[in-house]
């Protein structure tokens, strides 16, 4: 490896790979991606998520302007990319359901945001129309969102990685960045693989280190204000063909977003105004809720949408950023969905997997910016949901930031 490179990307999750793809495909730039896992597609957020292509209905422009913009742009870019490169995906559509008057206030709030963000094709529908889409889902009203879908996320990461590599980006897999020293306008980067240490210089660093991106930002600038407050999202599953009353046609079905109390994630059932007050005071967190989503399964070499319906995420506080243990039990999932999916029984449910979100403390939007002291460091911090959906738009945003 050359002792000096133009651009170093730290992290080979979907964001690092998308940025490597975007920057390498027409530039001939000298790009290195450093990934501490032994393989791309290793344990990280990009391999342990719900695989939902979000439509952009949740992010008010005032509070989360980057999430609103990049989710909307990313949604379209992702469907196009998947079609071009044969990535398993489906525009399933989504129902966001309210089961009583209290939940309708929350639904109304999401609807306003969706209208403001100009999410295409959305429609408020009544309970009868809901059952036309999904016969076993019970609701008084719902928001129908046609541009929501699902994707097999590891296939996306793999394709971005392979394309970037074919355009000349170099991937140093199984290497951890453990020290960065600013030097002139660039940086000296120290990486290790087991006991072997290598040092190289780079002009630009793009910090796409997911759950560790706040640490990387502070490695360069100890004054960096961002702090990770990771949250665990666990999921369970059931088989929709087990009984007629749990069959689903294949839409994403979500409850209205609600408040949950830290640290154990207990749901808050209060009028919307009260929730908003407590949320603004930082007393409760907001969750998209335990939803039902069709799931890709591998059959031979192909991915198909099988009979499995994934339920999640159920939030809890992880012990650390690698704590993938499952603390939620089957009855929790049943409790969370029984109001809108009454046919499900405890014995239908089995536990699935856990992932950890790179959520920031007291900050809700994505952070994508140059470090104020060391402008050749571009930090991507707090890239939690909808980071998968927004990945290609985030990569384009970074490329534009580099040109400014």
Ligand X SMILES: Cc1cc2nc3c(=O)[nH]c(=O)nc-3n(C[C@H](O)[C@H](O)[C@H](O)COP(=O)(O)OP(=O)(O)OC[C@H]3O[C@@H](n4cnc5c(N)ncnc54)[C@H](O)[C@@H]3O)c2cc1C
The closest of 297, 380, 399, 353 to 44, measured between CA atoms, is: 353
Q: Omega into 30 within 30° of 0, i.e. cis?
A: no
Backbone angles phi, psi at 192, to 5 degrees: -135, 150
The closest of 15, 25, 152 to 74, measured between CA atoms, is: 15
Beta bridge partners of 268: 259
Among 180, 208, 349, 367, binds ligand X (CB under 6 A): 208
Range in contact with ligand X (rule: CB under 6 A) among 11-19, 182-190, 265-273, 341-349 = 11-19
Parallel, antiparallel, or unpaired for β 141-145 and 123-126? Answer: antiparallel
Beta-carbon neighbour count of residue 108 at 10 Å?
A: 15
Q: State yes or no: residue 54 binds ligand X (CB under 6 A).
A: yes
If the CB atoms of residues 99 and 316 are measured against ligand X, the closer one turns out to be 316
Q: State yes or no: residue 35 binds ligand X (CB under 6 A).
A: yes
Range in contact with ligand X (rule: CB under 6 A) among 116-124, 141-149, 205-213, 249-257 = 205-213
Among 68, 163, 251, 388, binds ligand X (CB under 6 A): 388
Among 7, 13, 272, 310, binds ligand X (CB under 6 A): 13
The closest of 61, 10, 396 to 211, measured between CA atoms, is: 10
The closest of 285, 292, 190, 275 to 236, measured between CA atoms, is: 292
User: Restricting to residues 229-248, which ones interact with ligand X according to CB under 6 A?
Assistant: 233
How far, in Å, CA of 38 to CA of 172, rounded?
Answer: 9
Among 7, 9, 31, 44, binds ligand X (CB under 6 A): 44
Range in contact with ligand X (rule: CB under 6 A) among 111-119, 125-133, 351-359, 371-379 = 351-359
If the CB atoms of residues 141 and 389 are measured against ligand X, the closer one turns out to be 389
Q: What is the residue whose two structure tokens read 């920057």?
A: 23
If the CB atoms of residues 324 and 342 are measured against ligand X, the closer one turns out to be 324
Q: Report the Cα 105 to chain-centroid distance in Å.
A: 26
Among 14, 31, 180, 204, binds ligand X (CB under 6 A): 14
Among 5, 110, 356, 367, binds ligand X (CB under 6 A): 356
Q: State yes or no: residue 369 binds ligand X (CB under 6 A).
A: no
Among 15, 55, 107, 392, binds ligand X (CB under 6 A): 15
Parallel, antiparallel, or unpaired for β 291-299 and 302-316? Answer: antiparallel
DSSP 34: E
If the CB atoms of residues 172 and 284 are measured against ligand X, the closer one turns out to be 172
The closest of 367, 368, 360 to 285, measured between CA atoms, is: 360
Instruction: State the number of binding residues for ligand X (CB under 6 A).
Output: 40
C-alpha angle 306-307-310 in degrees, rounded to nearest 5: 95
Q: State yes or no: residue 212 binds ligand X (CB under 6 A).
A: yes
The 136-175 site mask, x for binding ligand X (CB under 6 A), equals ----------------------------------------
Q: State yes or no: residue 8 binds ligand X (CB under 6 A).
A: no
Query: Could you tell me the two tokens for 232?
Result: 């665990």
Q: State yes or no: residue 291 binds ligand X (CB under 6 A).
A: no
Question: In the complex, which residues of this chain contact ligand X (CB under 6 A)?
Answer: 10-16, 34-37, 42, 44-46, 48-52, 54, 176-177, 208-212, 233, 313, 355-357, 383-389
């Amino acid at each position: 490896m050359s002792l000096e490179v133009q651009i170093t990307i730290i992290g080979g999750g979907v964001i690092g790979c998308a940025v490597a793809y975007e920057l390498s495909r027409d530039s001939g730039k000298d790009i290195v991606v450093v990934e501490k896992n032994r393989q791309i597609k290793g344990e990280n957020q990009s391999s342990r998520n719900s695989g939902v292509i979000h439509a952009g209905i949740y992010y008010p422009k005032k509070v989360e302007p980057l999430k609103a913009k990049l989710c909307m742009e990313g949604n379209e870019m992702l469907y196009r990319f998947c079609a071009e490169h044969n990535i398993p995906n489906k525009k399933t559509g989504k129902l966001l359901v309210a089961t009583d008057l209290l939940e309708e206030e929350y639904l109304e709030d999401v609807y306003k945001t969706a209208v403001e963000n100009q999410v295409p094709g959305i429609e408020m529908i009544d309970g009868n129309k809901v059952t036309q889409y999904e016969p076993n889902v019970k609701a008084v009203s719902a928001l129908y969102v046609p541009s929501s879908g699902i994707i097999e996320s590891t296939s996306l990461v793999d394709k971005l990685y392979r394309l970037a590599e074919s355009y000349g980006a170099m991937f140093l897999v199984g290497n951890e960045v453990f020290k960065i020293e600013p030097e002139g306008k660039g940086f000296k980067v120290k990486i290790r693989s087991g006991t072997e240490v290598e040092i190289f210089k780079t002009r630009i660093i793009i910090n796409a280190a997911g759950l560790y991106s706040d640490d990387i930002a502070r490695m360069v600038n100890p004054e960096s204000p961002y702090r990770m407050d990771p949250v665990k999202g666990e999921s369970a599953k059931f088989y929709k063909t087990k009984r007629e009353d749990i069959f689903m046609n294949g839409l994403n079905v979500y409850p209205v977003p609600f408040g949950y109390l830290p640290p154990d994630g207990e749901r808050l059932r209060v009028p919307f105004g009260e929730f908003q007050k407590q949320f603004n005071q930082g007393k409760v967190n907001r969750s998209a809720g335990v939803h039902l989503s069709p799931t890709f399964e591998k059959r031979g070499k192909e991915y198909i949408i099988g009979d499995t319906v994934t339920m999640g995420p159920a939030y809890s506080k992880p012990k650390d950023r690698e704590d993938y243990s499952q603390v939620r039990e089957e009855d929790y999932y049943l409790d969370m969905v029984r109001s809108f999916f009454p046919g499900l029984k405890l014995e239908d449910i089995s536990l699935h997997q856990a992932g950890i979100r790179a959520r920031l403390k007291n900050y809700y939007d994505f952070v994508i910016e140059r470090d104020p002291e060391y402008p050749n460091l571009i930090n991507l911090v707090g890239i939690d949901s909808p980071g998968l959906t927004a990945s290609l738009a985030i990569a384009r945003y970074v490329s534009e930031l580099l040109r400014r």
